[in-house]
Amino acid sequence: MKRALICGISGQDGAYLAQFLLGKGYEVWGTSRDAQITSFANLAILGIRDRVNLLSMAPNDFRSVLQALTRSQPEEIYGLAGQSSVGLSFEQPAETLDSILQGTLNLLEAVRFMGGTPRIYHASSSESFGDLGGRAATEETPFRPRSPYAVAKASAHWLVANYRDAYGLFACNGILFNHDSPLRPPRFVTRKIVAAACRIAAGSQEKLELGRLDIARDWGWAPDYVEAMWRILHQDIPDDYVIATGRTATLEEFVARTFAEVGLDWRDHVVISPRLLRPSDIVWSGGDPTRARERLKWSASHFLPDVVRLMVASEKQSLGKGP
């Protein structure tokens, strides 16, 4: 039985990854900053809360990281912990850089200190590319980050590459583009849109406030993407991979599809609010997953229409309106 440690198991990706690895027969360990008070609601929703070994770990505390690795003795480590909101990173830049960059460094140093045998997956991010101007990013596309979150992720990405080259660690970056599910926190715009549309369809008189609708993203389905993480660690040679659907759509299209899914015209229920505009934003972002398709034998199986349909169905069910 293989043993895996998921750092940041309480989030969307951590929960789906735990479910996936359990299905593969793994012994799964997971961390949060305080495992005694964290609800692990996502693990409970997936019905796996009692099948995972949980530890407290502060990513920016080297002793804490070393202790978590010593207790779990993993063969595979998935580094998913850290502040995950682009918008929030403008309000909390220091915490964002500390949790992502220092957390990644501590994990790499702990593995090196212990002998360097576990394979490490690091959650890099498409945000590091910045605005791509209509050209899909590959693994060779330069980084031009436009938020504190993206700066932190770009720096952590190069730390992983450096430790791989300098110390021979099996350390890989998964450069994931946007991927969503019903487990997304409400502060993320996709979940915010879906939740509001379902409430309005159920009778709420509210208006949905949004910022820019012209931004374009490559939206995928989170359960697809956690399989890619696992495949990345099961190659003969460690490397970095863009994980994306290869299809890009505007936020306006996401909004229109969501409201259409509940039988409404979005233009009757959405207002644009200047207070929701960010200091800087990415207009167009999209990924070229050719390397993943050719080497990992991985391709997305869900695209924007599927993501919207599945998220709406789950939201309706949670409101007691669905099957």
- Could you list the active site residues? 125, 127, 149
Is 95 exposed, middle or buried, given 0-12, 13-18 or 19+ CB atoms closer than 10 A? middle
How far apart are the C-alpha atoms of 139 and 322, rounded to whole Å?
Answer: 41
- Asked whether 57 and 30 are in contact (CB, 8 A), the reply is no
How far apart are the C-alpha atoms of 11 and 32, rounded to whole Å?
Answer: 9
The phi-psi region of residue 133 (left if phi > 0; otherwise alpha if psi is between -120 and 50; otherwise beta) is left
Q: What angle do CA 104, 14, 117 make, to 5 degrees?
A: 50
Extract the runs of DSSP E, i.e. beta strands, from the chain: 3-7, 27-32, 53-56, 76-79, 119-125, 171-176, 179-180, 208-210, 216-217, 220-221, 241-243, 249-250, 270-272
The token pair at 160 is 């992983």
Which residues on neighbouring strands pair with residue 210, listed in sequence order? 272
How far apart are the C-alpha atoms of 60 and 166, rounded to whole Å?
Answer: 22
- Asked whether 42 and 30 are in contact (CB, 8 A), the reply is no
Question: How far, in whole angstroms, is CA 66 from its chain's centroid?
Answer: 24
Is 266 exposed, middle or buried, given 0-12, 13-18 or 19+ CB atoms closer than 10 A? buried
Question: How far, in whole angstroms, is CA 113 from its chain's centroid?
Answer: 28
How far apart are the C-alpha atoms of 145 and 150, rounded to whole Å?
Answer: 5
